[in-house]
Amino acid sequence: MNLNDPVSEIPGIGPKKSILFNRLKIKTIDDLIHFYPKKYIDYSNVDLIKNIKNGPVCLKVKFLSPKTRHISRSRTITEAIASDGSGSVLVIWFNQSYRAASLDLNSEYYLIGNYELNYNRFSIINPSLEKVGPNPINSARILAIYKETNNLNSKDIRKALASCINLASQYKDIYPSNLFKQFGLMDYALALKEIHFPKNSNNINLAHDRLAFNSIFDLILSAKLNENEIDSFKSVKIDLDIDLAKDFVNKLPFKLTDDQRKVIWQIMNDLNKKKPMNRLVEGDVGSGKTVIAAMISLLLINKGYQTSLMAPTEILAKQHYLNFIKMFSSYTKNIYLLTSSTPNNERAKILEIIKSNQPLIIIGTHALLNDNLRFSKLALVCVDEQHRFGVNQRKLLKQKANYLPHLLSLSATPIPRSLALTLFKELKISVLKTKPKQDTVINTYIKSKSQYLRSVETIKKLLNKGQQMFVIVPKINSKIDQDDSLENVLEETTKIFKEFKVDFLHGKLKSDLKNQKLEDFLNKKIDILVSTTVIEVGIDIPNATVMVIYSSDSFGLAQLHQLRGRIGRGHLDGHCYLIHDDNKIPSRRLEALKSTNNGFELAELDLKIRGPGAIYGNLQHGLLDLKLVDFHDTNLIELAHQAVEKFINNPKNMLEYKSLFKKVDNLRKIINLD
């Protein structure tokens, strides 16, 4: 067998059983070896029967007098006496009639189960057995417990692993062994063996640390290389006009928060250096990120430079454009909108203006990276809503602008502080914790489906007042629950709210149609929009006050918070209904969402509950595995930072560890948030 062989090659699995493994995303032996346990149960101490007490036990026994009797047509009881010389105990199996015939009365077995009072007598019910041998797999040791699926349990997974775990020695350690030994870390192949079949609890910790360390090392090295590359470029040093900044602030119809003032000052200091700015401004919806970008853009225009603001959707780009025109009415008219739907003749004019030395602000989508676009004095790129914009895109703009522009990223999805301190020490992060004073609130309700249906009349009263409503579903065709597919929810919503105009939206619609539907919703031609999470980012409908989220437990906390932020953006209170299954109690995540509107608290909790995979999504496909990473383990993280520094400071490592750099290079293209 080889690591890339399908699991069906493992003895005892075959094509049929491999389908069960595939359900757990285990397709190859490599996948299986990297399918880590979720917890452990310690059965390493083999007890004597005379010493056992209530609770889990592991015994080494022989069996006497096994017999099976029928207690009904479909139910059987098998009883036997287990003995080890120090005493005996009654063992009972329900509906396992094969047990009596399968027991070898001359052999010793390891028996694990719960010793407890059942039917007025102490016994062990439905224990697991394994014949005594030199290397027990499912008893007399610390047992790894895995995520399971129907007809495939941890015992099956351990058995499969036992047949192939020695293949872990085929892995070539792509990391510098001397460096890792210096930090007291276990050998990689040994760590893979010990994580599944640990000799003791200390080895679990050592294996866990080594495997987690790999992922943290990769992430930190990727972030560091990204930062070093950007640091190697030069940008323009700009001394901004303080008096103009004060004038702009005084003319705003609201007062800036202390956080906004602090962040503006940080950005102004960044721009006063030849090193390219690389700053992420994060804050909840409504915390005032856009006005910061607007003010900085105006200050740059005043110095004769060009700036661009990239938004993830056309409708959001248009919203920014209209807001900027309003804010800059007494300062400049050099504000342009460029998207895929900009008419060709107008596009040609805008492209010519950008080529000139004219100071301006250009707002648009990814169309701003078009090959035909040539900036002459681009000094700043603002990227809204975590749009993917990394080193390669910046290089592209460098070619257009002859130097690397400063970069300001805006995000309404906070990075958990523990994650930011771990991975992005090199990335400057500004946080808008406080929001401008608001008169409106967003009320959050956790409802079962039946409870929600009883709330319909309350919602209709709001809609009759001219307010609007989002209905969110997990996917177009949901595997979570057939009832929550877009098609079914659309049909149901149309029936329930038959007196209102209902329409739908999802990511697979053509861009023009998507934009048209959002425009219609904005202009109140649609009362209720049934949608997937395509509306999560960059849509501002001030009149939308109601949101219903089906199968709310299938979303992450940060995503739910983002969705909720789409309502209550005008002068009216918002009402968010989190719908959960009638047969289940609300989850901890839903309760947390109900209790707070603080996105930073929720992001940290999301990291604790769902783990880092929830944040890095599809990175766990051979490139990076975050299942074992605990971003609150500051000691391990600090070790990884030290290891990365030592590794980078040795130029020979670039040549010697080509496989590692190839892996990290691929990772850099995906993870960078710069």
Region 21-43: mean pLDDT is: 94
pLDDT confidence of 674, banded at 50, 70, 90? very low
Q: Is the pLDDT of residue 584 over 90?
A: no
pLDDT confidence of 612, banded at 50, 70, 90? low
Query: How far apart are the C-alpha atoms of 271 and 291, rounded to whole Å?
Result: 17
Tell which CATH architecture fits domain 45-140.
Answer: Beta Barrel (2.40)
**Residue the block writes with tokens 């400057």:** 428
pLDDT confidence of 673, banded at 50, 70, 90? very low
**In the chain, how long is the greatest CA-to-CA distance?**
97
Both tokens of residue 382? Answer: 């603002």
**Residue the block writes with tokens 């047990």:** 99
**CB distance 66 to 100 below 8 Å:** yes
- The pLDDT assigned to 482 comes to 64
- The pLDDT assigned to 367 comes to 72
Of 167-171, 514-518, 531-535, 614-618, the range with the lowest mean pLDDT is: 614-618
Q: Is the pLDDT of residue 286 over 80?
A: no
CATH number, domain 1-41+147-170: 1.10.150
Higher pLDDT, 106 or 484: 106
Closest CA to 309 of 329, 328, 324, 288: 324
Query: How far apart are the C-alpha atoms of 338 and 359, rounded to whole Å?
Result: 16
Both tokens of residue 217? Answer: 């090392």
- Residues of the chain above pLDDT 70, percent: 91
The one-letter amino acid at 376: S
Q: Is the pLDDT of residue 529 over 50?
A: yes
**Other C-beta atoms within 10 Å of 363: how many?**
29
Two domains, one topology: 242-273+288-411 and 442-597? yes
- The pLDDT assigned to 181 comes to 85
- The pLDDT assigned to 104 comes to 95
Higher pLDDT, 172 or 490: 490
CATH number, domain 242-273+288-411: 3.40.50.300
Please give the mean pLDDT across all residues of the chain. 87
Of the spans 106-110, 447-451, 529-533, 534-538, which averages the highest pLDDT? 106-110
- The pLDDT assigned to 638 comes to 87
- The pLDDT assigned to 414 comes to 72
- The pLDDT assigned to 620 comes to 43
Of the spans 71-75, 89-93, 614-618, 663-667, which averages the highest pLDDT? 89-93
Dihedral angle of Cα 489, 494, 497, 501, to the nearest 10 degrees: 120
- Helix then strand then coil, in percent of the chain rounded to 5, is 45, 20, 35
Run of H or E residues at 19: helix 14-23
Q: What is the 3-state secondary structure (H, E, C) of 387-429?
A: CCCCHHHHHHHHHHHCCCCEEEEEECCCCCHHHHHHHCCCCEE
Extract long-range pairs of 639-642: CB within 8 Å, 24+ residues apart. Answer: 639/183, 639/213, 640/213, 640/216, 640/217, 640/220, 641/220, 641/425, 642/183
- The pLDDT assigned to 618 comes to 43
Q: Is the pLDDT of residue 313 over 60?
A: yes
Q: Tens of pLDDT along 111-154?
A: 999 999 988 899 999 999 999 998 899 999 999 999 999 999 99
DSSP assignments along 503-536, one per residue: EEE-TTS-HHHHHHHHHHHHTTS-SEEEE-GGGS
Q: How many residues does the chain have?
A: 674
Query: How far apart are the C-alpha atoms of 358 and 374, rounded to whole Å?
Result: 12
Half-sphere exposure of 596 (CA within 13 A, CB side): 14
| Burial (CB count <10 Å: 0-12, 13-18, 19+), residue 344 | exposed
Helix (H, G, I), strand (E, B) or coil at 549: strand
- The pLDDT assigned to 311 comes to 85
Both tokens of residue 374? Answer: 């040539």
Both tokens of residue 140? Answer: 């007399």
Both tokens of residue 120? Answer: 């007025």
Of 171-175, 236-240, 277-281, 582-586, the range with the lowest mean pLDDT is: 582-586
- The pLDDT assigned to 222 comes to 85
Residue burial 565-591, b: 16+ Cβ < 10 Å; e: rest: bbbbbeebebbbbbbbbeeeebbebbe
- The pLDDT assigned to 616 comes to 54
- The pLDDT assigned to 621 comes to 47
The one-letter amino acid at 222: S
Q: 442-597, which class in CATH?
A: alpha beta
Q: Is the pLDDT of residue 671 over 60?
A: no
Q: Tens of pLDDT along 377-434?
A: 889 988 886 544 555 665 666 666 667 889 898 887 777 766 666 666 656 888 888 8
- The pLDDT assigned to 669 comes to 67
Strand order in the sheet with 278-283: 335-338, 360-364, 306-310, 378-384, 406-411, 278-283, 428-432
Run of H or E residues at 166: none
**Domain coordinates in residue numbering, the chain:** 1-41+147-170, 45-140, 242-273+288-411, 442-597
Q: Nearest 5 degrees, angle CA 135-CA 141-CA 146? A: 105
pLDDT confidence of 619, banded at 50, 70, 90? very low
Q: Is the pLDDT of residue 611 over 90?
A: no
- The pLDDT assigned to 598 comes to 81
Q: Is the pLDDT of residue 538 over 60?
A: no
